[in-house]
Chains A and B, each alone.
Chain A
């Protein structure tokens, strides 16, 4: 039972966070919106005046736009599916009794601590490179022709790198969830002769649904804006130019702030569509 006093105290306590974030959101957002309606070319002397909706039209009609949306969704979905499926399996395994559980857990978490730039560089040069990379060398040891990973499988390569970075996060959250499972319920089911598969499908998976939703939400937020991994591996070639990468090119390579800002507004719209979509699922799951 919240009293009136505690309600107003609560508002007061929420205020700093809300005001700060509101400022952090509104100031750049308003500036982005402003720039997106201007012809703003720093190398041509800056603000060249009102542009109407030119930047918006130009960004969306560019031949690079729809492929960029496609590339973004491919990478985000690919990495989400892999991290969640493998994350569930890994979490199930790590929950089993074994020797050296703590050390294994440390090994599994480690990729989460690696900076995106470093992991992009290391994967590209030391593993995926078709001449000096370890994968190519191992292939050659078995007499096979090395796969040109980044060229022939650009999406697979990127999804591999990104999944490697985010699998630890998914595993950790899912593992915590599994550990809170009611053991007696599982044992009772086993007594009743439920197969391992049935136990997983009817007891464990429903129990994990909340955790999966959380992983889905947090990872999506981060995956939508991945950049360093692409920059370091394909440099935007081979169809891997995502929306974030396209905006980066417009702002920093083309030095067209107006056009880039319009792209930024599109990215916000896309993110919100995804967010609403997610909220439908997440909201339901979180309310339970």
Chain B
């Protein structure tokens, strides 16, 4: 009896969740489907869902027009570099905030977050002038630094909340055993913190990947990322739905695939101290 009720509930849950999931995913699915249509089919009425002449033409056109691999590589380097650099800076800071808190810890955290609230366009000229002085315009190094700084507050905060969940008793036990600060971090904390660090890396990689203001405004021919790639398709002449879809699919596919493979990691660590 109880079993059949739970079976029925499970069925209802499944149907409901799948419908909602597909509804949320639909815009992406539709974009991917459209990228395989001819421009005519893309705006056909009534809309064609699956039964149309599948074509790779749009991808060929997009590939011919722009050097996709260079944009992709730049995106990988810049998103990856800024995330790793950010982690290097943030781990010690978050560690000390979590385990040696002072009265000002919370204020410092909040202040760090508040630096994210300055609208980017408001500081475009200052940063641009600074980049000219430092010779960082259109370099991947420059963007790695900027994106690292932009996301640093989120990284610190995420790690801080994660570290705080590690029971202090474990550390004390390690200290009793005579472990130094280095051992404490390397052999006790780090293994425990790996899931948290992993999901922090993932989240920041995604945020850096999708950053579209600085990556567009501080680059020219050398360091342009996929956001610059998209900016050359955003309103071309003529019928453009299918080509736009192809370019969009190419821009989001790498990060989507990465996200899917790592979603378990992402879910496990994405708590921001929300779980106690």
Contact = CB atoms under 8 A, between A and B. Distances in A.
A18 B212 contact: no
Interface residues of B, number: 92
Contact of A122 (B20, B25, B27, B108): B27
Interface in A80-134: 90, 93-94, 96-119, 121-123, 125-127, 132, 134
A11 interface: yes
A37 to B, nearest CB: 14
Contact of B149 (A9, A20, A110, A176): A20
B273 A110 contact: no
A17 B152 contact: yes
B100 A2 contact: yes
Interface stretch (A22-30, A50-58, A184-192): A22-30
A117 B60 CA distance: 22
B126 A224 contact: no
Q: Is the interface of B mostly helix, strand, loop or mixed?
A: helix
Nearest to A264: B122
Contacts of B251: 115, 118
A173 B270 contact: yes
A162 interface: no
Interface in A259-288: 260-261, 263-264, 267-268, 271-272, 274-275, 279, 283, 286
Interface string B237-276: 0001100110010011001100110010011101111111
B149 A24 contact: yes
Contacts of B90: 17
A64 interface: no
Contact of A21 (B28, B115, B126, B259): B115
Given A35-B126, A118-B251, A137-B46, A268 B118 contact: yes
B119 A275 contact: no
Contacts of B252: 113-115, 118
B239 to A, nearest CB: 10
Contacts of A227: 121, 213
A251 B18 contact: no
10 contacts: A6-B99, A94-B17, A99-B14, A114-B28, A118-B230, A210-B273, A210-B274, A211-B275, A267-B119, A271-B114
Interface of B: 6, 9-10, 13-14, 16-18, 20-22, 24-25, 27-28, 30-31, 34, 43, 45-47, 89-90, 92-93, 95-97, 99-100, 102, 106, 108, 110, 112-127, 129-130, 149, 152-154, 156, 172, 181, 206, 209-210, 212-213, 226-227, 230-231, 234, 240-241, 244-245, 248, 251-252, 255-256, 259-260, 263, 266-268, 270-276
Interface of A: 1-2, 6-7, 9-11, 13-14, 16-18, 20-21, 24-25, 27-29, 31-32, 35, 40, 42, 90, 93-94, 96-119, 121-123, 125-127, 132, 134, 137-138, 140-141, 164, 167-168, 172-177, 180, 210-211, 213-214, 217-218, 221, 224-225, 227-228, 232, 243-244, 247-248, 251-252, 257, 260-261, 263-264, 267-268, 271-272, 274-275, 279, 283, 286
